[in-house]
Amino acid sequence: MKYDPGTRFFDEMFTPDGQVRPHYEGVRAYLEQLGVPEFERRRHLLDAAFRNQGITFTVYGDAQGTERTFPFDPVPRIIPASEWAHVEAGLTQRVRALNAFLTDIYSGAQILADGVIPAELVFTSSHFRREVHGVTPPGGVFIHVVGTDLIRDERGEYLVLEDNLRSPSGVSYLLANRQAMTRIYPGLFEGQGVRPVQHYATALLANLQAVSPKPNGTVVVLTPGMYNSAYFEHAYLAQQMGVELVEGRDLFVDAGRVWMRTTGGRRQVDVIYRRIDDDFLDPLAFRRDSSLGVSGLMEVYRQGRVAIANAVGTGVADDKAVYAYVPDMIRYYLNETPLLNNVPTYLGWNADHLEHMLANAPELVFKSVGEAGGYGMLIGPAATRDETAAYLERVRANPREFIAQPVVGLSRHPTLYPDTGTFEGAHIDLRPYVLFGRDVTIVPGGLTRVALTRGSLVVNSSQGGGSKDTWVLDHDGPGQAQGMTQHLHGDPVPGAAPVAAPVPQPPGQTQGQSQGQTQTQGQGQTQAQSQGGAHSYQQQLEKTELGTGQPGEEN
């Protein structure tokens, strides 16, 4: 395996001097044994499998057609047990604080009265819903499913880039990635101690049923329809949970209940896992022109006769401006020090921050607080003067709707580029999925997104990004790294240099804050254990093909 890790960015697999990190040693050995031609041949099988299964996403505004196969790179991203224990603890802490925040602001709003977060910032958020003030969702749970975007900076520290609390997507790709990898690269998993992820749908269903107003309630997945960018995921999750996938026209309200039309007559619905934004849920409560929702749904919800996941109004907590105060929420509600730090964030509504943003635009990344999917961004170091000037006019016109952050050099990972057949470093992030309720369940790993455009820091699929399988190990790697070095040396992949966060200091940040977290090895069944003998025959075939074993041998 020829690869140059470079020194500008943190490389997940290699140290700066080319040594394989211990938890990657098994994958390195497999890749060298298999060889690049065979590894690439199997990658084509992966592409075909995704096409055949209809694993796609939609790009809005694409003149050449909206349906695309989700790009996938088969070199897995690996997280050792001790690292994951820290991430898991930090995510659990963060979600607890966010749920407490939502409970508070839709009741007494004590955190606003105490001046921890400016009331103006919350009440001017487009996702704050006065319609649910005083409404307590079943079990007091506002956020049932969370997708938190994490990055690693140049030092390798995990940072929270943003919280996704409304309808976080991507988990179906995580599950499909693992399923395809175990079929096409079965030998890669052998002896690695990879924790399984396929239990997600079962855990999600249990989480949803736990908030049902009545025992053994009926759960449905509410989708906007087949033209939505995440429709594949909606259908996939409904199928995996064994529940109905419905559109708004399939549901109606009668006698203070929500009902589903079926061929056998109407059936009461108790839990709606909605993949529709608040605005479109109920034309009587929100947008009158919505044909995607259910008329009268909000009144049934207020009466506690149906649960909606995630709860109505959760979007205020993933507002990109409110995000800057999550560390303060953790201190306020939990009386704890944040385990995962934010990226320093400058808020356009703050006059001092705005002045700094306008003066240092070429060094910052700007984001619109209401956009997602990589849209509405300006990457200062990569933008032209005209692009920057036009964007800043929008910022000046409506500063509340914009934030800015210093450029963070996202960590890189070896990635196989089809056009050259070589491994090169590509920037990645990580979206773990958290199920919150009576207990907290976090899928080991999450969706690793990769910027497949060389040198790009944008990992979103709509902007040319793809994904990787993400492994969490039940160990930290061999006790002694074998010291495999690399053979190719050259310039690192171009990318924006990191910019230190200047003053004024953004909210929620502490200078010199240290993680200081004791890391413990987590428990859990490994991928190899969960598979049992399901792939043993295929693994044996691979051993024979590689000349590493004979049929009937155990390894």
Please indicate whether residue 319 or residue 481 has the higher confidence score (pLDDT): 319
The whole-number pLDDT of residue 235 equals 95
Do 226 and 187 share a structural domain? no
Of the residues 249, 283, 305, the one at which a domain ends:
305
Q: Name which of 55-59, 336-340, 492-496 the model is least confident about.
A: 492-496
* pLDDT beyond 80 at 364: yes
Residue 25 neighbours by CB distance under 10 Å? 19
Do 369 and 270 share a structural domain? no
Q: Name which of 38-47, 67-76, 271-280 the model is least confident about.
A: 67-76
How many residues are listed for the chain in this entry?
555
In a domain, 67, yes or no: yes
| Cα-Cα end-to-end distance for the chain | 24
pLDDT classification of 1: cutoffs 50, 70, 90:
confident
Instruction: Tell me if 330 sits within 8 A of 336, measured CB to CB.
Output: yes
Give which of 352, 375, 378 is closest to 363, Cα–Cα.
Answer: 378
The whole-number pLDDT of residue 64 equals 52
In a domain, 372, yes or no: yes
pLDDT digits (tens, 9 = 90+) for 70-123: 788 999 999 999 999 999 999 999 999 999 999 999 999 999 999 999 999 999
Instruction: Tell me if 508 sits within 8 A of 328, measured CB to CB.
Output: yes
The whole-number pLDDT of residue 461 equals 66
Instruction: Tell me if 466 sits within 8 A of 413, measured CB to CB.
Output: no
Mean pLDDT on 167-195: 93
Q: How many CA atoms lie within 13 A of 398 on its CB side?
A: 10
Mean pLDDT on 365-387: 88
Do 186 and 55 share a structural domain? yes
Do 295 and 273 share a structural domain? yes
pLDDT digits (tens, 9 = 90+) for 318-356: 999 999 999 999 999 999 999 999 999 999 999 999 999
The whole-number pLDDT of residue 66 equals 54
In a domain, 122, yes or no: yes
Range of the domain at 239: 214-305
In a domain, 541, yes or no: yes
CATH number at residue 356: 3.30.1490.270
DSSP 8-64: SS-BSSB-TTSPBPGGGHHHHHHHHHH-HHHHHHHHHHHHHHHHHHT-EEE-TT-TT
Do 373 and 295 share a structural domain? no
pLDDT classification of 478: cutoffs 50, 70, 90:
confident
Do 64 and 138 share a structural domain? yes
In a domain, 204, yes or no: no
Do 438 and 534 share a structural domain? yes
Do 172 and 261 share a structural domain? no
The whole-number pLDDT of residue 550 equals 32
In a domain, 260, yes or no: yes
* pLDDT beyond 60 at 276: yes
Do 395 and 435 share a structural domain? no
Q: Name which of 133-142, 179-188, 310-319, 493-502 the model is least confident about.
A: 493-502
In a domain, 4, yes or no: no
Q: How many CA atoms lie within 13 A of 98 on its CB side?
A: 34
Do 140 and 54 share a structural domain? yes
Of the residues 374, 406, 438, the one at which a domain ends:
406
- Mean residue pLDDT of the chain comes to 84
Q: How far apart are alpha carbons 149 and 343 in whole angstroms?
A: 11
The whole-number pLDDT of residue 412 equals 96
Do 442 and 542 share a structural domain? yes
One-letter amino acid at 341 equals N
CATH number at residue 287: 3.40.50.11290
pLDDT classification of 49: cutoffs 50, 70, 90:
confident
Please indicate whether residue 508 or residue 225 has the higher confidence score (pLDDT): 225
pLDDT digits (tens, 9 = 90+) for 401-438: 999 999 999 999 999 987 888 899 999 999 999 999 88
Do 322 and 460 share a structural domain? yes
**What's the whole-model pTM score?**
0.84
Number of structural domains the chain divides into: 3
In a domain, 30, yes or no: yes
Of the residues 281, 305, 329, the one at which a domain ends:
305
Q: How far apart are alpha carbons 434 and 444 in whole angstroms?
A: 10
